[in-house]
Amino acid sequence: MMCVLMRVRDEHALARACDLGVAMQLTNIARDVGEDARQGRMYLPTDWLEEFGLTAEGIFANAAPSAALKQMTKRLLGEANRLYLRSEPGIARLPLSARPGIFAARHCYDAIGGKLARMNHDSMTGRATTTGGHKLRLLGLSILRAGWISVTPESPVVYARSLPETAFLVSAAAHPAPDRGTWGDPLLSVLSQLKAQDHATPAE
């Protein structure tokens, strides 16, 4: 949605934006396992619950930080981290002014996952948060990262396939990307035409 608002319709940028959105949501789920359980909500993958010998009903009845739940939380954060890294090349395809803010969101959410890891992946008895000072430091890092990604060669990871779960969003929002090797930008095209007219010989 934010890409569309920024008028970015390149399918690869959209796919990486979806990676970032999913990563942030996985971080949210990992952070809120205990809070959700106490409200009778469960967002953990049901096949993972079966794999670890857990049930939603059992967690609702005993919202305790079991070893199995900690392992599931660790696994969620691992998947989120993979997607955070995969999302980064797409930020270089956003407008320059938007890149620091998107990096800041990426790093702030990832920092929640880092805090949760330091809590031994126990999101049942506490809630991982970040401080205002930490967020300010992450903003400084984000500005540096945005500058760096703007001047370095594009990573081939930007061309990775969309997640199956988000492919329909990318397909719905994508417009063909202009050829980066041509004067595809409308403004540049207009300027090129004006220059050609200036040098044209007037008809007699």
Does residue 198 lie within any of the structural domains?
A: no
Which domain CATH number covers 149?
1.10.600.10
Position 199 scores a pLDDT of 61
User: Does residue 203 form part of some domain?
Assistant: no
Assigned domain for 151 exists: yes
Q: Is the pLDDT of residue 189 over 70?
A: no
Indicate whether 94 belongs to any domain.
Answer: yes
Asked, for residue 201, whether it belongs to a domain, the answer is no
Q: Are 170 and 14 in contact (CB under 8 A)?
A: yes
User: How does pLDDT run across 161-172, given as a tens digit for each residue?
Assistant: 999 999 999 999
Tens of pLDDT, residues 36-45: 999 999 999 9
29 located within any domain: yes
Q: Does pLDDT of 175 surpass 90?
A: no
- Report whether 106 contacts 84 (CB < 8 A): yes
CB atoms within 10 A of CB 54: 18
| Count of the separate structural domains present in the chain | 1
The backbone torsions φ and ψ at residue 96, rounded to the nearest 5 degrees and listed phi first, read -55, -40
pLDDT class for 181, splitting at 50, 70, 90? very low
Q: What is the pLDDT of residues 69-112, one digit of tens each?
A: 999 999 999 999 999 999 999 999 999 999 999 999 999 999 99
Q: Is residue 28 part of a domain?
A: yes
DSSP 57-87: HHHHH-----HHHHHHHHHHHHHHHHHHHHH
Q: What is the DSSP letter of 53?
A: T
Note whether residue 197 is domain-resident.
no
Q: Which domain holds residue 78?
A: 2-191
Contact 15, 174 (CB under 8 A): no
Q: In this structure, are residues 74 and 89 in contact, taking their beta carbons and an 8 Å threshold?
A: no
Q: Measure the N-to-C terminal CA separation of the chain; round to a whole number of Å.
A: 54
More confident of the two residues 175 and 22: 22
